[in-house]
Each structure stands twice: as C-alpha cells, then as structure tokens.
Chains A and B, each alone.
Chain A
Amino acid sequence: MSIEARNIKRAFGDFIAVNDVSLEVASGELVALLGPSGSGKTTLLRIIAGLETADSGQILFHGEDATDSGVAERRVGFVFQHYALFRHMTVYENVAFGLRVKPRHLRPARDEIRDKVLALLKLVQLDWLADRYPHQLSGGQRQRIALARALAVEPKVLLLDEPFGALDAKVRKELRAWLRRLHDEIHITSLFVTHDQEEALEVADCVVVMNEGRVEQIGTPEEVYDRPATPFVYQFLGDVNLFHGRVYDGRARIGDWEVPVPEGLHVDNDKAVVYVRPHDLEILAASDDRDALKAVVTQFATIGPRVRIDLKRVDSGETIHAEINKDRFLELQIGAGDQVSVRPRRHRLFGAAAA
C-alpha cells in the first residue's frame, strides 16, 4: 500500500508548519521523515494519519484519495513518541483493544483474538509480559507493545512518530536495528519521523529531509549524505566546514585553492561557499602545498582509531575541523603549532544565495 501526499499545507495561526509538501512512499518501503524540531515532520505525519487536517492538499493511499476519510477509515497503524499505552489495561488488553472495538459482525471470536494477540506479542518478543501493566515495563518494552498494538488491526501502513525519541541511547540503537529486522520480516509500508540523522540513515530505505515546513531533499541514505542537495542538508547530516570564496573565470577561489564551478553558477565575482566534511579533508606535510590551504594545528584529540584535528587557516584565521585516521596522523608526525597543508578530497559548492 503506497502513501502519497500532494501539496500539503498546514498553518497554526501565523506559523506555517507544513508548506506545500509532496512526497511518495512506495509500497513496502521504510521511509524516514528527518528534520530538526519545528520542521513540520510530525504535523505531516499526523495529517497522513488523519489526526490533523491539512489546510489544502491531498493524501492518497494506494492511489485513492483519502483526504476526507476519517482516521478509522484510513486503517493506519500509529505509534506515538510517548507510547500512549492504555494505562489501566494490561499488555494483553492493550494489544487486543483494536480487535475488541470492532463492530460486532467484524469482531473476531474470543479465541481468535487470543491467538492473534499472543502471536503479536511473540513477534515483538514480549509474550511473557502479557499480564503486566504499562507502568511495570521499561521504555523500550512499552514501545514494542505499542507497535504490537498498532499491528493488531492489520493496518495498511504504519506511521511512527519519533518512536525511539524518549529512550536512552543504548536502547534506541537496539530498537532501531530491531525495527529494521521487523520491517524486513513483515514488509509493511512504514513512515517514521525522527530528528536523529544516524537513526534515519541506518534504518530507512529512503530519507525525506525537511526544514521549516518544506522538503529539502528526498533520497536514499547514501544520496542525502554523500550528495546533499542543499546547504541545509549538508549541515544537518553531519559536521561540515564552510569555505567562503569568489568566482573568477569559471573557477571558485578559496585562498590558494581552486575548484571548478558547476553549471548555472558562473557569474564573475559571485560569492560562493564550499562545503567539505571533516573526514573529506586531507592533511599533508607543509611542503606539499600545491592546490592546498595552509593551516596551523591548534589542537587534536584521539577518539579510538580516529583523530580529530582543529586547524587555523594561515590566510584568514578561520577554524577548520578535520578528521583523519590514527595511522595517518602518526605518519605525519605533527602536533599543536605545526604548519600543514589541507586539501579537500571531496567538496560541494553552493552559490552564496543558496547558503
């Protein structure tokens, strides 16, 4: 069952939460809606679920217009950030809820409900907790129960709102790997909201990056990380160095370093900004200064097999962050105060207007 949102707009008073967003989730895909808080991702998810209404735009499930359908008709499974388990019901009753509230002629028999609930509890590996109450469970267990409860009504799509946001780092890592495995097992079209880049990149088939109510980029985790479409995506997905320069003769010049300018950005004397990730910077001996920037090491820190180096550009005094592996660092035999040459291995250039 595919999901499609067309030109969705939603404002709360003066604040535009979702601004003309369109996206498609193919059947069976696991897609992440990634963005900082206030970027409109949760509002969009709630509009898709029918918990919120859009000011304009359309929602389609499997090509059929569902814009005006009620929440129940859409048959979505929704997992809330704070679990929203029914606190006065046991785990078993929570999972059985969606089956028990069905109209009489659709409601499964008591035994069928029982078999189904126990099967779901097995699926989330918590069948031994059936008689417990939500407040007796850990956060990770509660979220798995919430997922089992959502799946009980056999939803056509699964929507998850920051499903791991309220958990501590270790449990979050375990659960997201588990979610990925679960998705590979049951292949339900899923859309989950997160502000955690690592989570989105690790779990999703496809990442939708949102900012200020708009979609910045849609692509596979590799695409959005390696080929960010906008400066925002570059900065939001990982650390980045910014180099400001100017365009002359179709090349942008940043100090002694020159890079070719892509199509559509070749006005002379235009400002340009080059984005380079710390691990895409090469550190070279000071003598090797061809097509490189000169910089002085200000400090460094060894983190396991990697070394993070802070440098200061000799020409402008700006700080550069680089990350290289430890072997290379030892080979260079450098320390604080030494001068080196810095050359980007990979970069991306944006016009100053875009940045």
Chain B
Amino acid sequence: MMWDDVGTAEALLEPPTGRPAVRRGAREEPALVRAALIAVALVFLLLFLFAPLASVFAGALRKGWEAYFAAIVEPDAWSAIKLTLLAAGIAVPLNLVFGVAAAWAIAKFEFRGKSLLITLIDLPFSVSPVISGLIYVLVFGLQGWFGHWLQAHDIKIIFAVPGIVLATIFVTFPFVARELIPLMQAQGTEEEEAAIVLGANGWQMFWRVTLPNIKWGLLYGVILCNARAMGEFGAVSVVSGHVRGATNTMSLHVEILYNEYNFAAAFAVASLLALLALVTLALKTLVEWLGREQIARSIA
C-alpha cells in the first residue's frame, strides 16, 4: 500500500528528461533522483500520516495507562462508545440489505429510472455531511414538517438516538451498493439463469450462486461502511444535540473533551477511533488479499 503511494508520487514528479547521460530503461531515473523522490514521499507520509497517528497515542498515554483506561471507562465515554456501536450496529446491517438489493436491481435488470436510482445512491457522497444532518432536522425537527405531529405523539427523533441512527444510515448509504454494482455487472446474469434452468428457486439461486460470487466485494463494502458509520462526525453532530451520556457518539465526545481542554481523555477516546481505523485497514487488506483471486476469476 505504502509503496504504491511512493510509486505514484515518483511517477508524478518525474521530470521531463532531455538527453539521458547513461544508458538505461525508458522509465528509469538516475539513482540520485530516485532516492530523492522516495525520500520526499517518505517524509511526506511521516509528517502527515504517521506523526499525527503517533501523537494521538502519545497524547492518550501522556498521563499513563491508568488515566487512559479511566478516560475510557468513565460513564460518559462508555455511553458514547455504546451509542456508536448501536448506531453502526443498526446502520451497517440495514445498508447491507439495501446495498445488495439495490446492486441486484441495477446490475441484473433493465428498468426505467435506473440512472436516477444510481444518482440517488450517490447522493450521500456528494452532499456535505452537515447538510445530511440538516435535512433530518428540517424534516423531523420541532420546526420541521413532522415536528408537531411527532411532538404530539411524544416521539423524539432529533436530539435523540433515532436521529443519530438515521443520519448514520444516510451517510453510509452508498458504500455497499457502490462496491457491488460494478462487480455484479461484470458477472452478468448467466450463472443465475443457469441455476434457474437447473431447477433452483429464487432463494436457492441467491444463497448458492449470487451471494458466494459477491461475498468478498460485500465484505469489503461492509468494512468501509462500518468504518464510516463509527467515524461519522458532521451529520451526527447536527442531529445529536450533544447531550453528554445520552446523545454523544465517540467522535462528538472527543470534540467535547477537547473543547474542555481535557486533552488526555480526548486523545484516549480518539485513540480508540484510530485503532478502529487501523483494524479496518488491516481487515480491508486481508479481504483484498483473500478476494483477489475471486475478483480475477469474476472478471475473466
């Protein structure tokens, strides 16, 4: 992964060469240039990726392990962790089902309004997360379309857990579908047709033919979806109301602690999110590695 980035940087920075002094391959640069370019890329990575990551953990552990654990098991932090897990726990399975259904419809059937559906799926990617949050405030907030009705029936959505779950679902909407659509389009419908001709019913076709063919892509999409669901800040911030111990997710809790100059605690919770990111990256790499053969096969 890292070396890929270096390679890209090198290719981009490649200077236009005049007459090469030494005989070498068309795509090769002198050793000095190569070393310099690699150094530039490495320094960049070090400064902007590794240093911040290290500083998160350094900041979290500044007051020792005891303070670190205390900051995490503190009731408000613990409640934020639970809320984050709850939101992701609802949003990811729902978007998994939706993503598979949408990708299935788009990749395997022709219908009117297909391009509109694709655009709609992409919508959460193209709007700012803050706007996504505002949409829900406008619809379900006290001054919103359903505000009075909801209040009359004593249902709280905005500044409550349901709002956070809805906002999380919205921003993580495209991940699974986007991952599956090109994969399913490349695979076509012949295998499904073959299964049907051989006597399989729709259910058997899905579980025995379609799902095994998309499992790696699906897992990849779910991992990305989960990472975003847990890390989302903007949309959730708008609908949350920042009630400590009640409507704060981990990202929001980090912000509050930071604003209160409680840096060690802020970094401790932040380190959990950073850890999640690292685990996600590791899982993603593993899935890519395991699924590579499968993907190669599905394209062949």
Contacts and interface: CB of A to CB of B under 8 A. Distances in A.
Interface of A: 49, 51, 71-72, 76-78, 80, 82, 84-88, 97-98, 101-102, 133, 135, 146, 149-150, 152-153
Contact of A84 (B190, B199, B200, B204): B190
Interface in B192-206: 193-201, 204
A76 B198 CA distance: 8
Interface stretch (B29-37, B79-87, B117-125, B207-215): B207-215
B212 A88 contact: yes
Contacts of B191: 84-87
A87 B199 contact: no
B280 interface: no
A300 B193 CA distance: 50
A99 to B, nearest CB: 9
A54 B56 CA distance: 65
A101 B191 CA distance: 15
Contacts of A150: 197-198
Contact of A97 (B208, B213, B294): B208
Contact of A101 (B204, B294, B300): B204
Given A97-B198, A97-B208, A149-B198, A84 B193 contact: yes
A97 B200 CA distance: 9
Contacts of B194: 78, 80, 84-86, 146, 149
Nearest to A97: B198
Interface in B149-206: 190-191, 193-201, 204
Interface residues of B, number: 20
17 contacts: A51-B197, A72-B196, A72-B201, A78-B193, A78-B194, A78-B197, A80-B193, A84-B193, A86-B194, A87-B213, A88-B213, A88-B294, A98-B198, A101-B198, A101-B200, A101-B208, A135-B297
Interface string B224-240: 00000000000000000
A86 B65 CA distance: 53
Nearest to A84: B190
Contacts, number: 64
Contacts of B262: none
B298 interface: yes
Nearest to B196: A71
A98 B199 contact: yes
Contacts of A71: 196-197
Contacts of A135: 297, 300
B199 A101 contact: yes
A76 B197 contact: yes
Quick one: which of A77, A88, A150, A153 has the most chain B CB within 10 A?
A88
B295 to A, nearest CB: 11
B198 A87 contact: no
A80 B190 contact: yes
Contacts of A88: 212-213, 294
B190 A87 contact: no
Contacts of A98: 198-199
Contacts of B200: 72, 97, 101
Contacts of B201: 72, 101
A102 B199 contact: yes
Nearest to B198: A98
Contacts of B300: 135
